[in-house]
Structure 1
């Protein structure tokens, strides 16, 4: 049985948020992947690489797995009613609703995180509660049919977890082995609790403006969102 996977792609997408799980899902022998955006014109990710959406929000099919990557370009989508309506429509029939990194914020803006356990990139984890989510600081978090991955590289772990949910652990392990996914990072600086304090401070300062902007946009969404 074919499994259809739909990624939302958008200007300013974090490339690895898409590329990690895409590589894993493309290894499914019965997988079919769609890249959705408003047009089929080339989209530039935050690193500058361009790629082509395969379908539009209005023309593409309903999918079994909805995946929302993150990136700096997620900010304007938090108040984009067209995109939110598409996310809600896809989520209403999808077998799994998922995100990587700050893609979780868009799920929140679409009203899909209320009273649900979820995660996102550590730097923006504090924003999840604004959408009514129950924040969990883990690499991958599953709450029913909702699966969220942490920051950027967590998309690989997330992809394997989802394959296991769809096709069983053996299928996920086969893909993991084929990709030789056996991470041995040269430095223990991948999480703020492990990284040297001065390194954490540098990253906090470097992302301060982006965090403030996301906090502002999240506040706008909260103001516009009807009270429960």
Structure 2
């Protein structure tokens, strides 16, 4: 950032049980925008346990976090605690009120919904949890990145990188976004064609739901009321 470059404040919410790639993926890309200043905010400045066996230390608390130009809510198995925590939801609302972009990755969209920010909006989430979006008055749109006004929601985990590039292109232009993509060699060619239920073996999808997601889905559904 040059002396004359206006800072662009990017705030990521951190919480125990976060899926670290939901945060670190888009952060790696967004940090390369002109003027980008990345803030990692949690209730308290103490190590945050990720889903990958290591911790992340936030660089600010809710109390001293600056106003976001872009607010991002990652997901993870800790999303239930976020949805149930009034202080965290109020932080999201307060930051969203002044943000140019309000964004999420994976189940972070459920936290946006719980904060009352998805009413009447098109949105997405991780494929295992999209059924919950309607409980917040949102309409699921089948896409890796969904933009409705200034709200941008990304699907599961790796789609956070795609959302970051969408934002970079909108702010700094497509050519700059392409340069960031090139510099970080984001050229995915996965060894298996199994990255979404639409293309994966149905038996494998069912097994993964049973082993990893059904219990979490039911747990989340317990605290998200049905709409009358």
Aligned pair partner of 1:186 in 185, 191, 194: 191
2-structure distance, mates of 1:72, 1:217: 14
- Per the TM alignment, residue 204 of structure 1 is displaced from its structure 2 partner at its CA by 1.1
Residue 152 of structure 1: aligned partner: 157
| 1:92-113 deviation line (CA, Å, top 9, x unaligned) | 0100000000000000000000
- SS in structure 2 of the partner of residue 13 of structure 1: coil
- Per the TM alignment, residue 46 of structure 1 is displaced from its structure 2 partner at its CA by 1.4
Q: How does 1:34-73 map to 2 (within 5 A)?
A: 34-73=39-78
- After alignment, is 207-216 or 31-40 more displaced? 207-216
Aligned pair partner of 2:114 in 109, 117, 129: 109
1:25 matched to 2:30? The reply is yes
| 1:49-93 deviation line (CA, Å, top 9, x unaligned) | 111110011111111000000000010111211111110110001
2-structure distance, mates of 1:59, 1:7: 14
1:11 matched to 2:23? The reply is no
For structure 2, the 5+ residue unaligned runs are 1-5
1:212 matched to 2:218? The reply is yes
Residue 161 of structure 1: aligned partner: 166
Aligned pair partner of 2:207 in 182, 202, 210: 202
Q: Count how many residue pairs are aligned between Structure 1 and Structure 2.
A: 222
1-structure distance, mates of 2:25, 2:65: 22
- Per the TM alignment, residue 29 of structure 1 is displaced from its structure 2 partner at its CA by 3.5
- SS in structure 2 of the partner of residue 72 of structure 1: coil
1-structure distance, mates of 2:37, 2:97: 19
- Per the TM alignment, residue 47 of structure 1 is displaced from its structure 2 partner at its CA by 1.6
For structure 1, the 5+ residue unaligned runs are none
- SS in structure 2 of the partner of residue 92 of structure 1: helix
2-structure distance, mates of 1:126, 1:21: 25
| 1:21-59 deviation line (CA, Å, top 9, x unaligned) | 010011124100000001101111012211111001111
Aligned pair partner of 1:82 in 79, 87, 92: 87
Residues 11 and 72 in structure 2, CA contact (< 8 A), matched pair in contact too: yes
What TM-score does the superposition give when structure 1 sets the normalisation length? 0.95
Runs of 4+ off more than 2 Å = none
- SS in structure 1 of the partner of residue 88 of structure 2: helix
